[in-house]
Amino acid sequence: MYVYMGVLCIIWGFNFVIMKLGNSFFPPGEFATLRFLTGSLVLICICVLKKIPLPNKSDLKWLVLCGLFQTAYFNIAIQISLNYISAGLTSVLTYSMPLFLSLMAHKWIPGESLTTKKTIGIIIGIIGLFIAMDIQSGGSIWIMLLGVSSAISWAIANLLFKLKLKHCDTVQFTTWQMAIGTIGLFLYTLLFEHGESQWGIMPAVYIMYSGIAASALAFVMWNYILRQTEASKASISLLLVPVVGVISGNIFLHENLNIVTLAGILLVLVGIWFVNSKNTRESHRVESNVVDKV
């Protein structure tokens, strides 16, 4: 499980650099559409080869919602944000998702109630978000909020998966929510985008990396992790994604790291750690109860 988490963080963190580079050759919605079309086709081929059945009709409405939240809106918000703010900051805003997922899990998932420690962590994380936005030194507040909305959208999709689709095969769920979301991305591109595309070897490489590694492979891995553990605890695997995104943006895109952004990033990570770390006292209490019952 830890190996999956480590690989996932590296793939998704570096993908913010790839997406920003891809925006130089394609309109943001078109790049996202091509990315997930590639990922969907790869996963559909895997479903055919492995003879994975089609989802149940009763699951279709939840797959549509997950596709719209996790694939369509989530990625449109990210791609547009990358046109106005850095890859590193976009990754921090997007991967604040565990903060929002923890709040939702407290409300709707039995056994995942918020403790005092988790509440403190959420407050720290939200303060960190506003500091990381660094509104006075660059970027529109609406673009910042758009980046945050991608995290909320993803959290909703994860909540729906835990509540309604956990019984699905991991590849089956990932394939069809991604395919449905791709249709949403295509409609957005068709209706609202008018930019020109520039094809070549490197643009194709960007699409292949984002489509195969960061979409097909990474989302299968994430859904597997999410299925195996509690929603709030699963999101701890995403702690290093913003860090990888910031470091990658600095190395490959020469993006500056000012003190304010770094301070905000640090608070976001501390907040997420508070939300997901295990309370030692509670752990000992659970162990004592188990011993007493034995």
Per-domain boundaries in the chain: 2-293
**Residue 163, by phi and psi: left (phi above 0), alpha (psi -120 to 50) or beta?**
alpha
Q: What is the pLDDT of residue 160?
A: 95
* Dist. CA 249–CA 14, nearest whole Å: 8
Q: What is the pLDDT of residue 237?
A: 66
Question: Tokens for 7?
Answer: 């690989």
Q: What is the DSSP letter of 193?
A: -
Q: What is the pLDDT of residue 70?
A: 94
Cα dihedral across residues 5, 8, 14, 20: positive or negative: negative
Nearest to 147 by CA among 219, 244, 75: 75
Q: What is the pLDDT of residue 254?
A: 84
Nearest to 244 by CA among 86, 48, 10: 10
Q: What is the pLDDT of residue 139?
A: 59
Give pTM, 2 decimals. Answer: 0.82
CB contact burial 9-43 (16+ within 10 A = b; e otherwise): bbbbbbbbbbbbbbbebbbbbbbbbbbbbbbbbbb
Question: Tokens for 69?
Answer: 């939240």
Please report where in the chains the tokens 């509440």 appear, as a residue. 119
Q: Could you tell me if 206 and 87 are in contact, meaning their C-beta atoms sit under 8 angstroms apart?
A: no
Q: Could you tell me if 78 and 90 are in contact, meaning their C-beta atoms sit under 8 angstroms apart?
A: yes
**Residue 199, by phi and psi: left (phi above 0), alpha (psi -120 to 50) or beta?**
beta
Q: What is the pLDDT of residue 251?
A: 87
- Share above pLDDT 70 across residues of the chain, in percent, rounded to a whole number: 89
Q: What is the pLDDT of residue 151?
A: 94
Q: Could you tell me if 19 and 78 are in contact, meaning their C-beta atoms sit under 8 angstroms apart?
A: yes
Q: What is the pLDDT of residue 279?
A: 58
Instruction: Give the residue ranges of the chain where pLDDT is below 70.
Output: 1-2, 133-139, 232-233, 236-237, 276, 278-294
**Residue 139, by phi and psi: left (phi above 0), alpha (psi -120 to 50) or beta?**
left
Alpha-carbon distances of 258 from 89, 95, 101, rounded to whole Å: 11, 20, 29
Q: What is the pLDDT of residue 264?
A: 83
